[in-house]
Every structure is written in structure tokens, then in C-alpha cells.
Structure 1
Amino acid sequence: MAAMSTTVDLGLIQKLTNLSDINRILNETLAKERALDVELDQLLSKRADLERSFLLLNAPTAEALELIHEDCQQMLQSVQATSVLAAHISGKVRTLDTAQSRVQETLSDIKSILDRTNCINGVQAAMDSQDYETAANFICTFIELDAKMASHRELFEDGQEDAQRKVLMEAKAQLEVVVDKQLEEAVAQRNQAAVLRYAKLYKPLGKQAEGLQRFVDFLRLTVAGKARAGYSTMAELLEAGKKADFVATLSLLFKDLAMTLEEHEAFIREVFGVSGVLEAVSGLQLECDSHGSRLLARFAEAKRVDRVVSEIRGRKRLGGGSSGATLGGGNKEGGPDPRQVDVLIAELLRLCQLSEEYNQFMLGKMRDALGSAQGQLTAARETNFRSGPFNVAVRELLGQYMALEEFYMNETCSLAVRIDESSPGSLTSSLVDDVFFILRKCGLRAMASGSVQCCAALLAELNNVVSNLLKESLGGKVAAQGAAARLLAAAPSAADLAGRTDTVPSSAMEYAVALNNTDVSSDYVVKLKTELEAYLSSYMNSPGEREKVRSVLSDLSKAATDLRQSNTRALEQLAEAIMPRLRAVMDELATVSYQLSDIEYSSREAEEGWAHHLVASVQLLMTWLQPILTTNNYEGLLHLLLDKLVSRLEALLGRKQFSQLGGLQLERESRTMLSALQELSSRTVRDKLSRLSQMALLLGLESAEEVLDFWTPSSGSGATGGGDSLGGGMTWRLSASEVRAVLLQRSDFVRDSVMVLPL
């Protein structure tokens, strides 16, 4: 206890100036404090024993209580003394800690003063040895230290700080003059390594913005020199009357711009930061605006684009041709030659595509730079980038492209219609392939333009060509061949059925080609729409743009439907024209009786009746027509013809009376027709004859009540299709009233029993 109560001489502590002595006394004090804590814990640990002894007393006595009271007082005094000592030591520790912090701060200031002095000496030595990088780093360090020491002026002797700053600022000014001069010389000599060296020094000199501007000016100067050389070469070719490659020249300009940025991007980002990359993009874009717009203007002048577009728009306003040809001879109506316009479009569109590819590259660099800085390329920034003279010129070219493409599409499609011809052995004429080749070419070029407005407008014009020019041309050819329909309906002789089409009259063949053109065109429109939609993701960047173009393309579906409907109407007319050739067979059926005896039923089985004759006539006609019709037209005509035949057969058979054997004979004839007609079609014809087959089934029943074995509660609902449904019930094509009417055709069925059937 005596050792622990040793007091500390405060006077000795206040005289301490050596950091090691302070740390030593601090450690001794902390050791004493820990010893006191241990002693205090030992005293407190005796409390439980004392309490236990107190409880063990059998009878409290005044003496025992007095002893306990004295012990408690002694313990309390000991604890209070310990507490006071601990508080005293804690205060001394805090005092020592504060002193240590002040010493550390003082030492740091002293180090800064020494560093400032070293910077002064280092700058002077580096300037003498022309080590400008080291000098710039010393200047940057001095400026940082000077800002840090601003609150400790009392550490300097009078005038010492100002003297150091003056020396440093003089060295800084001297270095700035040297750097400016050396950079100018490096730029004049196009010495890229020297430019990089001296441009890097502007950052430590605190002139980062000026250094960035000078470096971007150097990049622009480099690109400008190459651009002028390329333009001069192209201009010389034009003046000499030779062909100049505008696409290659513009591509070379874009390549120089992109490679310049790509090559120096890492340097700019390291020295000047993200804003430096954005500034470099803006500076290079100024060169693109200057030289790119100049190149596009020269292209428009050399190709006389404005004059051609003006002439096209003038012809469009007048609704006809115009005098003279601007591009290498015109068409027969005067005006630009579509072939020359096609060449112009290809070159113009390639220029626009290259421009958009360059724009996307530069915008991508801006996005990458902003992405690294946790920013994003705003719509305003992109709009500002695209608002320069070059992109304005590109948009003007796109507007002219739209006029040229619209002219080319209409002129070449009209020409394809005018020169339409058929080749021997071909089911279609040249019109179909020519028109859709042109439409596909124009549609893909419109999407490749990359402009959603341009693409939407041209695809709308493409749909207009299909819906008007093509549809009217095909419809007119079909309507103009009414007489040929009658020729097609003429039954050929057996000699014509050797697989030859040379016996088909030319007018009939022309009509067949017109039908085939309509059928194939409808399919081609659907294929064209599907193909163009497949290219959407390749040419349109945003989902909104793709959806807008897709909405325009959806109009092609209606055009395809209109062509299909027109084709169906023509086939219906043809089927109607064929029907008179089958009148003889129908007349034969009108004379046939179905109230048969056993002998008549047996004799009918050996004879070739009306059903055989009808099938033979249909086979003769369809075998003759099949080689000159497309598969769709052939199948469509056959099924339309069957619809009309069945309808006529039902009407004729509905006026006859039947015996049971007559019904069985009709069932046999319906099976004969079904089997023979099925061979003519790749599609099922069972549904065409299902009503007739059901009539034959009803007419061959033993009794009228037997129909209930086939009739179910859901029968007679008019469901499509034939055959047996699940559970053995038939899917009836006849309604309940029609079933009764057929049963009443049986001469041996009583009317009252038929009418009370629960159908």
C-alpha cells in the first residue's frame, strides 16, 4: 500500500520536454494504475466472506457489531483513498496524452517546414538540370504544403515564409514559360512524344484546364492536317474529271478521328480525368463538323443531289414526267434514270451509315467516360453532340435519300409492271419477282439508314406500292381475263392429259399466270414483312424505335390479306365458270331413280353411274389445270369447286324419293366420290362430302327410329368436321330439321313417326 500511494511530482512533469521521458513516465503511471485496480479488486472480493461470516453469527452482540462497524469503516476509507488516487492518476494520463498530441503536431509542422525547404532546393536543382518533371512535382508539393501550413505562420521567422514562397513562385513562373515554349515547339514540329511530355506538366503546375485545351488543340491540328490532305486529293480527282471516292475519304476522316481518340484516351483520362475525355470528344467533333460537312457539301455538289431531288419533287407535284435528264439519260417519260438514282442512293446511304457508326462510337466513348464517373449520357448531352453542322448535313442527306428512294421504288416497280412477261414453264410472270426484289432492296436500305423517321416513311411508301400499284396491276390482269375463264372451263380431250401444257390456249395461260401472281404475291408480302421484322434489332437501337417501325410493318399484313381475298374471289369466279361443264352430269343425276328393287340395286353396282362420271369430269379438268396453277390456287380451286358441286348435289338429291336400297346406293356412290376426289388433293375432302354422306346414312336406315342410335343430345349443333366423336356419337353436319326432311324422303317411312322423333 505504501508503494502504491507514492505521489508524483507535478513540477517534474511540467518540466519534461523529451518525448521518450514523457512516454516512460506515462508507462510507469499506467502500471501504478493497473496495480491499484488489482488491489481494489482484491478488497472487493472479501465482501462475500464478510457477509457469510455475518450470517453465521448465532446471536448478534454489541461487541461483534462494533467490530464489524470498525472493519466497514476501514474498508470504506480504503476504497475512498483508492478512488481518489485513481481519479488523480487518470487526470495525469489525460495531461500526458494532450502533451503527446501537441508534440506529434509540432513534429509534423517541423517536417513540413523541412519539406518546404527541400522543395525550394529541389526546384532550383531540377531547373538547373532541366529536369522539368521533377521541378513540377516539387512545385506541386510546395503548393500543397503551403496550403497546409497556412494556420501555423508563427513557426516561421519574420519574412522567412514570404521569401520561400517568392522563390518558389519565381521558379514556377520560369517553368511555365519553359513548358509553354517547349510545347509550342513540339506542336510545330508534330513531335507527339514531346507534346505528351510537356502537356503532362500542366497538371502539377495547377494549369490543368489550359494543358487540356492545348493538348486537344494539338489533336485537332493533327487530324485537320490529314483531313485537308484527303480532301485535296479528292478535289484534284474531281477537277481532272476522274471518279472520286467520297465514301473512302469520309471513312478515312472518321478513322483518323477514332484512332486519335483511342490512342490518347488513356493518357487524357490519367492526366486530365473524365472531363478531359469529354473535352477531347468535343474538340475532335469540331474537326468532324468542319471537314465532314465540307466533304458532304462537295458530294452533294459533285453528284448534283439537290438538282435531282428538286426535279423528282417537281415531277411528283405535277403528277407526271419532266423534261430532260439529270443523271446520265432518263427514262422514257423524261427525268432521272432510276439506274443512276440507284447508284446515287447506294453511295449517299453509305455516307449516312458511316456517319451514324462514327456517332455511335463517339457517344459510346462519352458513355464509358461518364460511366466510370458514375454518371450517364443525358439526352441533352447527346442532342448537343448531334446538333453540329456535320450531323445537320447528314440529316439533310437523309431527307434527300427519302425522296430518291421513294422515286426509285415507284419508278422501278412501275417499270416492272410495264415490262411484265411470262417465261415458258414458269407459273408466274416476271412482275412478281421483280417487284418484290425491288421492295426488299428498298426496305432493307430504309432500315439500314438508322433513322426511325426515314425508315417509317419509306416502309409506309412500300406498303402503299403493294396496296395500290401491285394490287391494282394484279387485279386488273385477273379482271381483264374474263373470257379466259371460260376457256379454262372448257373440258379438254383425253389426248391433252399427257402432262403437257402446250395445248393450253395462250389467253387461258395468261389468266392462270395472273391468278398465280396474286397467290404468290400474297405469300411474298408476308415473307417480306417477316424478313424486315427480323432485321429490326440489327438496325434500330431502342425498343421504342423498333416498336414504331413494327407498327408500320403491320400494315403489310392487311395488304397480304387484301391480295389473298382478291385471289379467292378470282378462284370463286373460275369455279363458277367451270360448273356449266358439269351440267351434263348433273342432268344425268336428275333422271336417276333411287326407289330400287333388289335386281335394280345389283345392276347399278356393275354400271358406271353419275358419281363415276362426275368424278371423271372433275379429274379431267383438275388434271389439266394442275400443271399451270400454283399449289395454293389448285387446292383452293378444287375445294371451292367441291363446295359448289356438293351444294348442287344436295339440292338435286333433296327432291328425290328413296327406298332403303336407294339409300344404300347413294351411300356407295358417296364413298366412291370421296375415295376418288381424295386422290386429287393433299388436303382432306371428307368435310366437303360429310353432309352428303350423312344423308346417305339416314336414307339407308332400317327404320326411322334407328337414327336415335346415332343422334346424341349435342348433335345438330352445326359443329365443323366429320367422323365419329368420342363415345360413339357422330358429329352431325345436319340439323334436326334437316334430318327429318331427309328421313321423309324415304317412301316407306311414315311422316307422323318421323315428326315425333326426339331429335
Structure 2
Amino acid sequence: MAASRSDATSLPTFDGVENLITLTDIQKAFDELCVEEESMNAELDNLLEHQSALENKMSGLHKILPNLQILETDSKQLSSMVSFTSTLAENVSSKVRQLDVAKSQVTACITRVEDILDLKFCTDGVQTALQNEDYEKASAAGHVHRFRSLDENILRMSEESGEGSTLDSSFRLLQEAEEKLKSIVNTKFDAAVHSGDFASIERFFKIFPLIGLHEEGLTKFGKFLSSQIAEKSRGNLMIAESVTHKDKNANVIYAETATQLFESIANIIEVRQPLIETYFGSGKLFSLMKILQKECDRQVRQILEKFKLKRDFDAVVQQVQQNAVFHRPSATEKFDPKVLDVLLSEVVLLNTRTELFLRFFRRRAVGDMESAYSNDDLKEKIKEIDKFISNCDLNRLMQELIGNYIMMEEFFMREMVLKAVSMDTVEESSHTSSMVDDSFYIVKKCVRRAVSSSSVDGICAMLNHASTVLEQDFREVLFSRVRAGFPSGFDLTQAYNMVQSSIQQGKLQSSDQEKAKTTFLVAMNNAEVSCEYCKSLKSNIEEEVLRSFSKSSEQSKAKLQSCVTDLGNVAVRLKEVVDFGVSQLRSSAIKPRIKPLTDAFLSTSHNISEDDFSNYEANDPWVQNYILQIDNMLATFKSALSTENYDTFVSQVTTEVTFQLEKAVLKTSFNRLGGLQFDKELRALVGYLSSVTTWTIRDKFARLTQMATILNLERVNELLDYWGPNSGPLTWRLTPTEVRNILSLRVDFRSEEIKKLKL
């Protein structure tokens, strides 16, 4: 093994030792031999440790060895048996396949024999049935109908066995019988229709599908039902024309006539659907419904023509269009919108009943298709149904009618709102004028009437028109009154203009200013109440829409929701009027009164002695008179403003009080007792203003309260007990610079100590 290695140190054998020349090589070879020796010793130790286990395993193997020989023998026997079974199964399977082929051939033979027997039976029976006019037996009992179900090509294969001439004769006779039966059924059905024999009509209608005339049968039956519908509708229309104005249904008689038409068609569909499904199969009802719908279109057109003629509809539409274009016609040409109210209600009722009928029509047609088709085929059929409904004359006529309705309803709503504004009155006990209730009653009535029409486009249009009327016409009236401003003795320009206006009228009216104040405050109240009415209207209409259109498409729901939201947004625009009025009040009524009252604070010393402090406690220098004057001012406005506007007014008064008082405080000098006095005055003022409103106003006094706290400190460093990490829940509204300025108001605090504060 040493000879196979070229490296002398790779195997330290006696042969390699001769090649070791240097001491380094000898030492290296020796080290390797030591390592190898240690490795072999470790391996031998490991084997010796497991000697008993290895001996046990070897003993076990010796015991198993005989069993392995037996297992080998059994495995060979099992393999032989499986091979034999496989061969046997293959042979049996082959025999079974042969038997299946034979069975199928026998079955086909039996079927052909049965078909030949049926053919001969039909040939023999059909002649007798036709002679006896037993048409049901000639078809439904299996003669012609059974003949039509036979496969002629398969039967022709029997010609090779000598049956050819007989089969030809049978086929010829049955084909002749089929044509004869078709002719008879058509003739008998037409005769039954002519004589009005409904039993015979239904009898022969059932035969049509059995002789392969599905579409022809449905067409003939549909025409018969259409004639009945037309006759009944003409009778109802004649009755409608004879109704006098005293009749309770006179104002909606044409809507009732159309309803009767829809109900009669719906009743026919409900009654005849089981008959058609039984004899014609599923998916055939829509063919009949299309025929009935075309007759419905014709009858509705006649009803609408009579309706327009009786109600002078076209003339009314023309007058409305003229008045809409020329907004200010002469008094003689002015069209009274009141006459539209009844007419609009009837138009809406017409459309409501139409939408209800079309939904019924679609539901029945789709239901019939669902029982006959599935997946893609069903989707195509539903598209066909929707296209038919959208293109039918009934739908188009009602769309045209709704178009005119929207124009007239918008005109009615706008004119009635403007009329409500022109007839605006204020009752003594009311904060608002009549125009608010009247206008929102009209708008609500018009929008709800549109919702009842069930027309998504019509509803959306009227919601948009309602938003426009409220946002432009109605709001503009309120805004113009508020924009005129609140009269104030301090507003010299306004006072001058008012005097000039009174002089031009020939006299100086002392009540002009009071009237202007009332107009301003009522307009503010109107705007505030209108905000609430608008939100309530939006909420009510939203509920009605969700309830009425819960099963509509997502697209329709999204359109309606968008328009309802726009109506609700009008409240935001009305709130702008209130906010503008409040700003006017603040500049004209609040600021001119609060500023002089606050000047009294500046004239009251807060650098006081203990005697002065005791005297102030007994004889308040300014705050009680301040509160009294504010109370008088608030009392004046409380009776004139709505609750919400009054609270807003108090809030504005509070804002102005705090603003003016902060400026006054920064111009005043304090000592310790003066700071304590200011704190008492401030508490009295906060307590009063909190008692006169339901809103919280303490937050507005946060800065002043913190000023009072600073002015009450005994020492400058005491501020640090309330500042920074020691502030607790208190949030400081004053900046460090403002705090130092307020501390400097204390005459007893040294400026050096204030500057040293680390804020």
C-alpha cells in the first residue's frame, strides 16, 4: 500500500521510513502516526462499548433468517396468485364488454321494434281519431305527437329487412295526418275565437305545442287575449269620459283607467302562466307577454290622448313653458300655479302605476326565464327582457309625460315658494315668519310627490330643483334681509340712509328702525329654523327613498343618494346666512355696547388697600352694573331670537366681553388685593353668563381665569407650582411672554424676579 503513494509522509510504513531524511520529516511522520493511533484507539473503544448491543443484534438476525426464507416462499406464491387473478379478471372484463355491446344492440333493436310498433299504432289510430274528431287523442294520446318524436332515419334502416313499403306508407299517412291536424286546429281555434267559445279556445290552444306550433299557438292566443284587453279597456275609457267633476275619483279617473288596464293584463298573466308552463314549457311565457304588452301600449296611448284632451294638458304645458321663459309676464297673462296641483298628482299616479306594472312584468318574465335557462344564456335573456321594457311605447310615453311633469312641478314649486315669500307675515308670538313653514311645506309636498312617482330620473331632477329653489330663491330673500344690516344708533351711515329714505317718503317714521330690527332678527330666525327644516326634510326623504327603492340597482341608489345629499347640503348654505347675521349683530349691536361698559373697569382702581377692598365688597364699583347692562341687552334680544340664535348671541356677547376685558386688564395695575378683587369680579361675571345660556361658556373665560390666577399669586416663584410639569390637568392658554406681561402688572412684583422665571 506504501508503494502506491508518492508522498512519503502520507503513510508512515516501514517502506516510507527509508525516505525520511530530515529530522523535520521524521517528526511530522511521527506526529501523524500518533494522531492516527489515537483515532484508532477511540474507534476501538467505541466498538467495545457497543459490543453487547452488536452481539444482541447479530443474535436477532440469526433468529430471523429462517423466517425470511419462509417469507420469500410465501411472496412467490402470492405473486403467482395475483398474476392468475389478473389474467382471470381480464378475461371476465372482456366478456362483460362483449355482453354490454350485445345488450346495447338488443336495446336498440327493442327500441326500433317498439318505434315500428308505435308507428303502426299511430298510423292505425290517427285516422280513426280524426274521423271521430277526437283531436286530443290524435295528438296528445301519442299519435301525431309520438310520430314527431320518432327518428325517421333509424326507422328507415328497417327497409333492408323488407319493411320499406310499409314504413313509407305509414310515414306518408302520418305526415298527411299531421298537416291535416294542423289545418283543423288552426281552423277550429279561429272559429272558437270568432264565436267566443273560450272552452274550445283553450282546448285547441293546448294542442298547438303537441303538433310543433309553439310560436303560432302563442301568437294566436296572445291576439285573442289582446282583443279581450282592448275591449275591456275601451269600455273603461268610455266610463271615464262620462264621469262628472262631482265624482270623488274625477281628478284621477284616467290614472284609475290605466290602473284597470294594468291589473287586467297582470291578472291574465297570473292565470295563464301555469297553462303555458304545463303545455308549452318554461321560457315561453315571455313570448305571450310581449304580445300583451304591445296591446297595452296601444291602449295606454289612447288613454293618455283622452287624458291630455280632457285636462288641456298640452295647453297647460305651453303656458308653463311661456311663464318659465318670461319670468315676469303681465298680470293678465300670469299663470296661476295652483291649477297645476291636481294635474300633477294625476300625472304622478299614472307613472307610479306604470312603474309598478313594469316591475311586475319584468319579475314574471325573468322568473320564467330562470326556470328554463342558466348562466350566460340566462344573462342574455334578461338583457333581452330589459331592452324590450325600455323600448316599449308605454315606457317611452311615460318618460315623455314625466319630462313635462318635472318642468311643471319645478314651476309650481318655485312660484308657490315666491308667493309664500311675497305673502310673508309675522305673528306677535312667533320668532319666525310664515314664509318658512309655507315654503318648506311646498317643497316637501313637491319632493314627496316626485318620490311617489317611482321614477328615479324624475326624483333626482326634483331633488335638484328643490335644492336650487331653496339655495337660490329662498336663501337669497333671507340673505338680502340680513345683508341690510342690523340698525344701530352707533352706525351713523345707516342712520343717515334711513332718515333720507323716510324724508323722501314725505315723513319721518319713528318706527322705521324698529321695523328694520324686526326684519333682520326674523330673517336670522328664519334662516336658523330653515337649517333644521332642511336637515329634517333630507332625513325624511332619505328614509322614503331607501324604503321605496330598496330593490333597485346600485347605480340608481347611488344617484338618489347623491341628490338627497345635495339637498341636505342646502342647510350649510342657510347656516352661512345665520353666521353672517351673527357677525352683523356683533359689529352693530354687541361691540358698540360692550366696549363702553368695559371702560368702567379701566376707571376702577385695582391697586387697593384693605379698606378699599372692604368698601368694594360692600359697594361694587363696576361689575354689578356691567352685569345689569348686559342682562338688559340680552333680555331685549331673548324675546326676539329663536332659542338657537339666542344661545349663539350669548356666545358672541361672551366672546366680545372676554376680548374687551382682556385688553382692559393689560392696561391696569394690580396689587395682591386688587388681583383678589378681580378674581371675585370675574367669578361673578362667569356665573351670570353661565346662567343665561344652555351652552358652556367657561372655556371662553379660560385666558381671563388664568390671568386672575397669576394676579392672585403671593410671590413670583409661586407660578412654578402651576406651570409646566406641575400644571396637572390645566392647559395654559397664555404664552410665556404673556405670563411675564401679566406678572408685570403687579406693582409689588420686581421685574428682576419676573425675568428670572424659567418658563
TM-score norm. by structure 2 comes to 0.79
CA distance 1:245–1:93, change in 2 (3 Å): closer
Q: 2:578 aligns with which of 541, 554, 567?
A: 567
Specify the alignment match of 1:749 in structure 2: 749
Partner deviation per Cα, 1:208-241 (whole Å, 9 max, x = no partner): 2221211112221221111122223334558999
- Contact 1:459–1:552 under 8 Å retained in 2: yes
Structure 2: distance between partners of 1:95 and 1:528: 83
Alignment of 1:672-751 (within 5 A): 672-712=684-724, 728-751=728-751
Structure 1: distance between partners of 2:284 and 2:742: 93
Q: How far apart are residue 367 of structure 1 and its match? A: 1.3
Equivalent position SS for 1:689: helix
Q: How far apart are residue 433 of structure 1 and its match? A: 0.3
Whichever residue aligns with residue 304 of structure 2, its letter is L
Alignment of 1:605-624 (within 5 A): 605-624=617-636
Alignment of 1:173-188 (within 5 A): 173-188=179-194
Q: How far apart are residue 115 of structure 1 and its match? A: 2.3
CA distance 1:142–1:739, change in 2 (3 Å): same
- Contact 2:613–2:673 under 8 Å retained in 1: yes
Structure 1: distance between partners of 2:410 and 2:578: 28
- Contact 2:606–2:668 under 8 Å retained in 1: yes
Structure 2: distance between partners of 1:206 and 1:436: 64
- Contact 2:159–2:165 under 8 Å retained in 1: no
Specify the alignment match of 2:342 in structure 1: 343
Alignment of 1:279-678 (within 5 A): 279-321=287-329, 332=331, 334-372=333-371, 373-374=373-374, 375-376=378-379, 377-379=381-383, 381-480=385-484, 482-483=486-487, 508-540=517-549, 541-576=552-587, 577-582=589-594, 585-678=597-690
Structure 1: distance between partners of 2:217 and 2:227: 15
Q: How far apart are residue 745 of structure 1 and its match? A: 0.2
CA distance 1:485–1:230, change in 2 (3 Å): farther
Q: How far apart are residue 95 of structure 1 and its match? A: 7.2
Q: How far apart are residue 704 of structure 1 and its match? A: 1.1
Whichever residue aligns with residue 232 of structure 1, its letter is M
Q: How far apart are residue 167 of structure 1 and its match? A: 2.7
- Contact 2:485–2:584 under 8 Å retained in 1: no
Whichever residue aligns with residue 609 of structure 1, its letter is P
Specify the alignment match of 2:137 in structure 1: 134
Q: How far apart are residue 185 of structure 1 and its match? A: 2.5
Q: How far apart are residue 94 of structure 1 and its match? A: 7.6
Structure 1: distance between partners of 2:564 and 2:94: 87
Q: How far apart are residue 344 of structure 1 and its match? A: 1.0
- Contact 1:247–1:351 under 8 Å retained in 2: yes
Q: How far apart are residue 703 of structure 1 and its match? A: 1.1
- Contact 1:699–1:743 under 8 Å retained in 2: yes
Specify the alignment match of 1:170 in structure 2: 176
Worse-matched range after superposition: 676-685 or 225-234: 225-234
Q: How far apart are residue 247 of structure 1 and its match? A: 0.9
Structure 2: distance between partners of 1:276 and 1:394: 28
CA distance 1:157–1:482, change in 2 (3 Å): closer
Structure 2: distance between partners of 1:87 and 1:478: 105
- Contact 2:251–2:342 under 8 Å retained in 1: no
- Contact 1:436–1:524 under 8 Å retained in 2: yes
Structure 2: distance between partners of 1:240 and 1:671: 73
Whichever residue aligns with residue 271 of structure 2, its letter is E
Q: How far apart are residue 92 of structure 1 and its match? A: 8.5
Structure 2: distance between partners of 1:750 and 1:707: 14
Q: How far apart are residue 701 of structure 1 and its match? A: 0.3
Structure 2: distance between partners of 1:81 and 1:334: 113
Partner deviation per Cα, 1:367-415 (whole Å, 9 max, x = no partner): 1122222213544541332213222211111111011011101100000
Equivalent position SS for 1:731: coil
- Contact 1:237–1:243 under 8 Å retained in 2: no
Structure 2: distance between partners of 1:439 and 1:97: 82
CA distance 1:86–1:246, change in 2 (3 Å): closer
Structure 1: distance between partners of 2:233 and 2:274: 24
Whichever residue aligns with residue 348 of structure 1, its letter is V
Q: How far apart are residue 539 of structure 1 and its match? A: 4.2
Q: How far apart are residue 729 of structure 1 and its match? A: 4.6
Whichever residue aligns with residue 534 of structure 2, its letter is V
Once superposed, what is the RMSD of the aligned Cα atoms?
3.5
Equivalent position SS for 1:601: helix
Structure 1: distance between partners of 2:225 and 2:386: 22
Partner deviation per Cα, 1:414-447 (whole Å, 9 max, x = no partner): 0000000012311111000011111111222233
Equivalent position SS for 1:203: helix
Whichever residue aligns with residue 749 of structure 1, its letter is F
Equivalent position SS for 1:636: helix
Specify the alignment match of 2:224 in structure 1: 218
Structure 1: distance between partners of 2:131 and 2:213: 22
User: Structure 2 regions of 5+ residues with no counterpart?
Assistant: 1-68, 74-79, 492-512
Equivalent position SS for 1:274: coil
**Is 2:204 aligned against 1:198?**
yes
Partner deviation per Cα, 1:636-668 (whole Å, 9 max, x = no partner): 001101111111111112111100111011111
Structure 2: distance between partners of 1:706 and 1:340: 80
CA distance 1:273–1:296, change in 2 (3 Å): same
Specify the alignment match of 2:157 in structure 1: 151
Structure 2: distance between partners of 1:754 and 1:93: 115
Q: How far apart are residue 560 of structure 1 and its match? A: 1.9
Specify the alignment match of 1:273 in structure 2: 281
Q: How far apart are residue 131 of structure 1 and its match? A: 2.7
Q: How far apart are residue 697 of structure 1 and its match? A: 0.8
Report sequence identity in percent.
30
Structure 2: distance between partners of 1:676 and 1:482: 26
- Contact 2:604–2:621 under 8 Å retained in 1: no
Q: How far apart are residue 748 of structure 1 and its match? A: 1.1
Structure 1: distance between partners of 2:750 and 2:175: 130
CA distance 1:391–1:246, change in 2 (3 Å): same
CA distance 1:739–1:98, change in 2 (3 Å): closer
Q: How far apart are residue 727 of structure 1 and its match? A: 6.9
Specify the alignment match of 1:59 in structure 2: none
Equivalent position SS for 1:245: helix
Specify the alignment match of 2:270 in structure 1: 262
Structure 1: distance between partners of 2:236 and 2:86: 93
Equivalent position SS for 1:427: coil
Worse-matched range after superposition: 436-445 or 377-386: 377-386
Q: How far apart are residue 739 of structure 1 and its match? A: 0.7
Structure 2: distance between partners of 1:366 and 1:594: 91
- For this pair of structures, how many residues does the alignment match? 653
Structure 1: distance between partners of 2:692 and 2:710: 28
Q: How far apart are residue 741 of structure 1 and its match? A: 0.6
Q: How far apart are residue 459 of structure 1 and its match? A: 2.0
CA distance 1:142–1:754, change in 2 (3 Å): same
Partner deviation per Cα, 1:230-257 (whole Å, 9 max, x = no partner): 2233345589998781011111111111
